[in-house]
């Protein structure tokens, strides 16, 4: 890239290099660059232009001739900027630029330049000295940073609201199915039929467990699982749901058979274990909700925090999603009690899509471990695949720092092999609830909000690492996920805000989920659930 600055300092011209031109041609021309990315790109070039202008003005203030290229500037600027051996920038500029600005100092100010042109006019017409130049530069750039930060946080907040709300189409589907259950005997079939009930505890079958209160999501998981199975007659899918979703869920799978696969639909109150005495997970959730409301203040308090970076605020908003405090999400820690007759199961989240036969998972040697999972510490992206314990746990707290290694590799929930027989020989469930109690006593300060952190603690030392092919994550975080990588994965996971059934889903990635939805189905059509 080449830059030209006019002698009057009124014009800065950018001549993009070949690589930049090709990037713009490919990304913008093919509409692959989102409006948000385009906005940030414009901000980047704006900062670049300001940098060149500032450096040129610094030369003018210092009595040197003007530069018209980065190379020329590099010869004149000091070591604090471009690494040269002799600084020609007045020390007062460094001093002023390094002074902090109070968070309310710029509020209501009308004398701060709003654009580069305004800044140039003020500097030239006012014949400013180095001190005035530095003060105005610091104020203008700080104001721009504050506005950019606020815009990012506002975007994250809107996405949080969009991802936490239940679309009216899903409300419609649940209501229509509940009505169908009440009025149509065919929607009230026993699942499975009586002659197939023995298969529910037969360990020669491939047992999968799905906990969900979302009929549409469960339908896609079940359909993709069965359709890609080489031996669907050996597949048993146990669907666990809550009381309010039980009738719609039963109606859907009664009317949409996936035979020869065996589908069981049960509400939590149907489990004998769940109805006996106190259930630790319910007590923990109740306490967690009370403490959370008292100490966290919800999404409003998170957004108002002026000290944390936008990506940290985004992570906290994500963790406030109802899913992370849902009984459907916590119940996995009690799988051995829920399925006392089973030796091994594969647990599936309801935001995954199965793209291959999963029966080979039963051939993976677990080596006495309980949880077969994909590690998430060997990737380059910051959202998903570069996570270690320090990404989730608060190592400034002595309880965490003395018990765990911050560099230990994290792993993923969403598609997990659980050896229930090995699990019953451990104290994993007890450990999970013990640390939930410790977190409550510490005012929720031991880890980020969510269910993965206590899971990392409870299963510590009990994880068998499996091939990343079996679980590709991040389709709800990263729009730039490679389609080729998605196609080649055994299971894809839309973890993140951009769930495929929401309007904020990434258009390029939603079809991998939507291909398993029959949009001609009468219930789907009547609720206006669309392919795009």
Please report the DSSP string for 472-497 in residue order: B--TBT-TT--HHHHHT-SEEE--BS
Q: What average pLDDT score do residues 114-132 get?
A: 76
> Distance between alpha carbon 142 and the CA centroid of its chain, in Å?
29
Residue 305 has pLDDT above 70, yes or no: no
**Do 369 and 416 touch, CB atoms closer than 8 A?**
no
Does 489 or 23 have the greater pLDDT score?
489
- Is pLDDT of 166 > 90? no
Same domain? For 281 and 348 the reply is: yes
Residue 76 lies in a domain: no
What's the pLDDT at 112?
81
Mean pLDDT of 190-203: 96
Domains in the chain: how many in total?
Answer: 2
> Same domain, yes or no, for 150 and 215?
no
Check whether residue 113 and residue 134 sit in a common domain: yes
Calculated CA dihedral for residues 167, 170, 171, 172, nearest 10 degrees: 120
As a whole number of angstroms, the distance between CA 281 and CA 330 comes to: 7
| Residue 55: inside a domain | no
Crossing angle of helices 116-125 and 130-164, rounded to 10°: 170
Examine the domain organization and report whether 116 and 212 are in the same domain.
Answer: no
Contact indicator for 406, 459 with CB cutoff of 8 Å = no
pLDDT at position 351: 95
Q: Is residue 321 within 8 Å of residue 163, measured between CB atoms?
A: yes
pLDDT, averaged across the chain? 80
Query: In this predicted structure, what is the pLDDT of residue 65?
Result: 46
Q: Are residues 278 and 401 in the same domain?
A: yes
- From its phi and psi, is residue 12 left (phi > 0), alpha (psi between -120 and 50) or beta? beta
User: End-to-end CA distance of the chain, in Å?
Assistant: 39
415 touches 346 (CB < 8 A): yes
What pLDDT shows up at residue 425? Answer: 96
Q: How far apart are CA 199 and CA 93, in angstroms?
A: 77
367/464 Cα distance (integer angstroms): 7
Judged against a pLDDT cut of 70, whether residue 27 lies above it is answered with no
- Cα separation, 42 vs 24, in Å, equals 12
CATH number at residue 286: 3.90.550.10
Of residues 267 and 124, the one with the higher pLDDT is 267
Domain boundary among 109, 141, 163: 163
Q: What is the dihedral of CA 416, 396, 438, 326, to 10 degrees?
A: -40
Among 112, 146, 163, the domain-final residue is 163
- In this prediction, residue 76 has a pLDDT band, given cuts at 50, 70 and 90, of very low
Query: What's residue 72's pLDDT?
Result: 47
In a shared domain, residues 143 and 195? no
Whether the pLDDT of residue 515 is over 50: the answer is yes
Which tens digit of pLDDT belongs to each residue from 317-337?
665 665 556 677 778 899 999
Please, are residues 492 and 472 in contact by the beta-carbon 8 Å criterion? yes
pLDDT, tens digit, 9 for 90 and up, residues 86-118:
556 677 777 777 777 776 777 777 778 777 777
pLDDT of residue 161: 58
Task: Answer for the pair 320, 162: CB distance below 8 angstroms, yes or no.
Answer: no
Assigned domain for 238 exists: yes
Q: Model confidence at 525, in pLDDT bands (50, 70, 90)?
A: very high
Residues 152, 200 share a domain: no
Same domain, 205 and 139: no
Residue 341 or 448, more confident: 341
List, in sequence order, the alpha helices (H) in 387-474.
389-392, 398-401, 420-423, 428-441, 452-458
Q: Which residue has the tokens 């900027």?
A: 81
Q: Taking 90 as the threshold, does the pLDDT of residue 480 lie above it?
A: no
- Which of 244-248, 260-264, 285-289 has the least mean pLDDT? 285-289
The answer to whether position 309 is within a domain reads: yes
**Does 7 fall in a domain?**
no
Residues 129 and 179 in one domain: no
Question: Are 131 and 240 found together in one domain?
Answer: no
Dist CA 278 CA 508 (whole Å): 46
Does 252 share its domain with 343? Answer: yes
Distance CA 516, CA 531 (A): 10
pLDDT at residue 260, as a whole number? 97
Considering the domain architecture, whether residues 150 and 266 belong to the same structural domain is answered as: no
Give pLDDT tens digits for 370-426: 999 999 998 777 778 889 999 999 999 999 999 999 999 999 999 999 999 999 999
Full residue range of the structural domain in which residue 108 is found: 92-163
Distance CA 326, CA 338 (A): 17
H or E element at residue 208: strand 206-211
Q: Which two tokens stand for residue 482?
A: 């490679």
pLDDT tens digits, 420-437: 999 999 999 999 989 988
Residue 247 exposure: Cα atoms within 13 Å on the Cβ side? 13
Rounded to the nearest 10 degrees, the angle between the axes of helix 130-164 and helix 35-61 is 170
In terms of Cβ atoms closer than 10 Å to its own Cβ (0-12, 13-18, 19+), residue 426 is middle
């Amino acid at each position: 890239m080449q830059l030209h600055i006019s002698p009057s300092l009124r014009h800065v011209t950018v001549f993009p290099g070949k690589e930049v031109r090709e990037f713009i041609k490919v990304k913008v021309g093919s509409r692959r660059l989102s409006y948000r990315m385009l906005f940030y790109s414009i901000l980047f070039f704006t900062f670049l232009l300001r940098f060149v202008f500032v450096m040129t003005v610094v030369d003018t203030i210092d009595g040197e001739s003007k530069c018209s290229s980065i190379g020329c500037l590099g010869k004149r600027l000091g070591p604090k900027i471009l690494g040269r051996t002799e600084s020609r920038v007045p020390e007062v500029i460094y001093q002023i630029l390094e002074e902090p600005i109070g968070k309310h100092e710029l509020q209501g100010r009308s004398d701060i330049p709003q654009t580069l042109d305004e800044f140039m006019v003020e500097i030239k017409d006012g014949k400013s000295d180095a001190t005035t130049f530095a003060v105005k530069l610091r104020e203008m750039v700080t104001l721009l940073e504050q506005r950019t930060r606020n815009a990012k946080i506002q975007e994250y907040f809107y996405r949080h609201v969009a991802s936490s709300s239940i679309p009216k189409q899903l409300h419609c589907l649940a209501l229509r199915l509940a009505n169908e259950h009440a009025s149509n005997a065919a929607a009230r079939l026993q699942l499975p039929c009586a002659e197939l009930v023995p298969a529910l505890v037969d360990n020669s079958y491939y047992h999968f467990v799905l906990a969900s209160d979302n009929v549409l999501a469960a339908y896609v998981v079940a359909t993709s699982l069965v359709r890609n199975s080489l031996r669907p007659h050996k597949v048993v899918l146990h669907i666990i749901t809550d009381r309010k979703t039980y009738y719609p869920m039963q109606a859907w799978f009664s009317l949409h058979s996936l035979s020869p696969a065996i589908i069981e639909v049960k509400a939590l109150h149907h489990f004998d274990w769940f109805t006996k005495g106190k259930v630790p997970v319910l007590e923990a959730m109740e306490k967690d909700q009370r403490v959370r409301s008292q100490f966290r203040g919800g999404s409003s308090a998170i957004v108002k925090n002026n000290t944390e970076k936008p990506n940290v605020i985004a992570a906290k908003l994500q963790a406030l999603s109802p899913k992370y405090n849902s009984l459907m999400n916590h119940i996995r820690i009690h799988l051995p009690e829920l399925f006392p007759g089973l030796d091994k199961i594969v647990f599936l989240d309801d935001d995954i899509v199965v793209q291959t036969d999963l029966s080979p998972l039963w051939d993976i040697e677990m080596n006495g471990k309980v949880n077969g999972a994909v590690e998430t510490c060997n990737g380059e992206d910051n959202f998903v695949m570069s996570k270690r314990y320090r990404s989730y746990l608060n190592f400034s707290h002595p309880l965490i720092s003395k018990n765990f290694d911050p560099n230990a590799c994290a792993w993923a929930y969403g598609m997990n092999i659980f050896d229930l027989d090995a699990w019953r020989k451990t104290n994993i469930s007890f450990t999970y609830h013990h640390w939930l109690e410790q977190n409550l006593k510490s005012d929720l300060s031991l880890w980020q909000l969510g269910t993965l952190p206590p899971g990392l603690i409870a299963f510590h030392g009990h994880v068998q690492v499996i091939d990343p092919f079996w679980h590709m994550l991040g389709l709800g975080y990263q729009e730039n996920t490679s389609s080729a990588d998605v196609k080649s994965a055994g299971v894809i996971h839309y973890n993140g805000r951009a769930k495929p059934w929401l309007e904020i889903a990434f258009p390029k990635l939603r079809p991998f989920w939507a291909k398993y939805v029959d949009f001609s189905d009468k219930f789907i059509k009547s609720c206006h659930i669309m392919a795009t």
